[in-house]
Structures are given as structure tokens and as C-alpha cells.
Homo-oligomer: A and B are copies of this chain.
């Protein structure tokens, strides 16, 4: 069994620190719940799941559930297991993503499918997903089951749409946004909405928090796709230009292509089997020349603005400020 979870103030991105400082005790309970629910007499399960979860990650989605509940004045303990459940769904998705993308590294650490094999990743992903549903059922609210089962379904639909479209220049900005909303933002939104539901928040608050999660999730994914071209490599913990090398079309390429900047270059790149370092340099040149990276970031800013407006419904508090900080952080983070 892998050792402790590494989440702590020291190792976390600056934009998350205010939120973590406020919710550290609760997040500790979430981490204990995660470890407890990964237990199984089949030792491969805690081994792989423990490896994954011990990698840390930002625990962003559980933090959203915790903060949303707290913001709506929740005083019970249901948010702990539900936050764990959201993290299980996310981790299951990552495991299956890495199989689909044939990734070897995630945040600079080896992926489970490179350490074990695709087989283990598929099956342990299924286990985590099932365990997430067991946790929801144990919580006992059909309303929450409804939110999270729709989110799960949207995630896999988004992933499949991405698989069938992401290597094609026919991918439009609208479809791209539909994909990132489904595969990323819906779980952010479910995470925040669940917090409001257990707190019995009035409908406008609940809707505002669900929309906050959705906009924040879209902004995060937009920035992920921008950072893939612009990030500080060491801090991101992954290679620059992964999407380009994999022939994956994201918003920056869509924008450049539809502006007519480098049309024949992009068409050639997308049909080639592999793309080299020199071609990545050319891609970066065109993405900057067309202003596509800046415009993609501009779109992320629009969604962050929308996220901040959703928070306007809540009275000032340290937690609200921490969530605002998180929304800003999505634009300026390096990882």
C-alpha cells in the first residue's frame, strides 16, 4: 500500500492556498475517506488506486464540493464522502484517459498504464467508478445521484466526441467548447452543485454555484490547452507541445486555421504520422502570429468573469474571496 497523500500547503499552487488554508481539516477527512474506500482484499486495487491518489493532484474537485457546501452554510458531514466520490469519478476518468491517450507521464509522474498495463488501468478505473456509485448510494439522495450520474454520462460522451473529432480540422470552435464542457466542466459543476444540494440552498444559490463550477471548468480546460503550448515545462511537469505532437486539434489551432493563418501547414501536420521539434516551432510561430494563443486565453478570461459574477450572489467572506482567488488562478497558473 502506497504511503500518505501529499496534499499540503507547501506543495500546492499559490492560487489554491487560501482555499486550502480554510478547508484543510475537511480535506484531511476527505483524504482519509478516499484511502478507506479504496480498501479491497484484492491487493492490486489499493496498490494502483493508492499510487494514483498519492500523486496528489490539486484535489480541486473535492475542494469545490467542500467550499460550495460551506458557502451555503452546511454543517453536517455528508460533504466528506461526496467530495471523495467526486474525486473517484475524476481518478477513474484519468485512468481511462491515459489508456486512450497512451500517455506515459502525468504531472511529471509515470502514469498507471505505463507502470502496470492498460488492463489494470481499465479495470481499476471501473472499480473506482463503481465505488463512487456505491458512495453516492450510501449517501442516499436521489437528487445527488441524478446530478452525478448525468455528469458521468456527459464525461464519457465528451471523451468519445473528442476521440472522433480531435484529429480533424473539421472540429469547430462550437464543438470544441461542447467537448470541454462535457469532459471537464460538467464534473466541476456537479461538484459545486452537490455542495449546495446537501446544504438545502435556495434555488438561485444552487444554480449560481452550478454555473460557477461550469464556467470555472471551461476556463481551466481552455487554459490547459493554451498551457500545452506556453507553459513553463518544469513547472507543468509535462512536455510542451504534447497536443501538437499527438496531432490533437484544440482551440489555438482551430482559431489560427479559421483565420487562414498557415492553412496548408495545419493540413499537412494533421495528416502526418508524427510531428517533430522543428514543426512544433513553426506551429508556435503561427499560433503567436495569428494571435490564437492570446485569444484562447481571452476566452478563458470571459468564462472566469462569468464564474466571478456567479459568486456575486454570496455575501463577502474569506471563503468567497478564496474561491475568487481560485478563479483568477485558473488564468495565471503554471500547472
* Interface set of A (CB-CB < 8 Å, partner B): 40, 42-45, 96, 99-100, 118-120, 122-127, 129-131, 133-134, 136-137, 140, 142, 145-146, 149-150, 152-153, 155-157, 159-161, 163-164
Contacts of A120 in B (CB 8 A): 160, 163
Do A131 and B160 have beta carbons less than 8 Å apart?
Answer: no
Once the chains are docked, how many angstroms separate the CA of A149 from the CA of B124? 15
Contacts of A96 in B (CB 8 A): 122-123, 126
Query: In chain B, what residue has the closest Cβ to A159?
Result: B123
Contact of A122 (CB < 8 Å), options: B42, B45, B122, B152 = B122
Contact of A127 (CB < 8 Å), options: B118, B149, B156 = B156
Contacts of A161 in B (CB 8 A): 42, 44
Once the chains are docked, how many angstroms separate the CA of A160 from the CA of B49? 12
- A212 to nearest B CB, angstroms? 24
Say whether, besides A40-B157, A160-B42, A160-B124, A133 and B119 are in contact (CB < 8 Å): no
Contacts of A42 in B (CB 8 A): 157, 160-161, 164
Once the chains are docked, how many angstroms separate the CA of A44 from the CA of B166? 13
Once the chains are docked, how many angstroms separate the CA of A137 from the CA of B142? 7
- A198 to nearest B CB, angstroms? 16
Query: In chain B, what residue has the closest Cβ to A157?
Result: B42
Query: In chain B, what residue has the closest Cβ to A101?
Result: B119
Once the chains are docked, how many angstroms separate the CA of A126 from the CA of B43? 24
Do B127 and A99 have beta carbons less than 8 Å apart?
Answer: no
Say whether, besides A119-B99, A160-B42, A153 and B124 are in contact (CB < 8 Å): no
Which of A45, A118, A157 has the most chain B CB within a 10 Å cutoff? A157
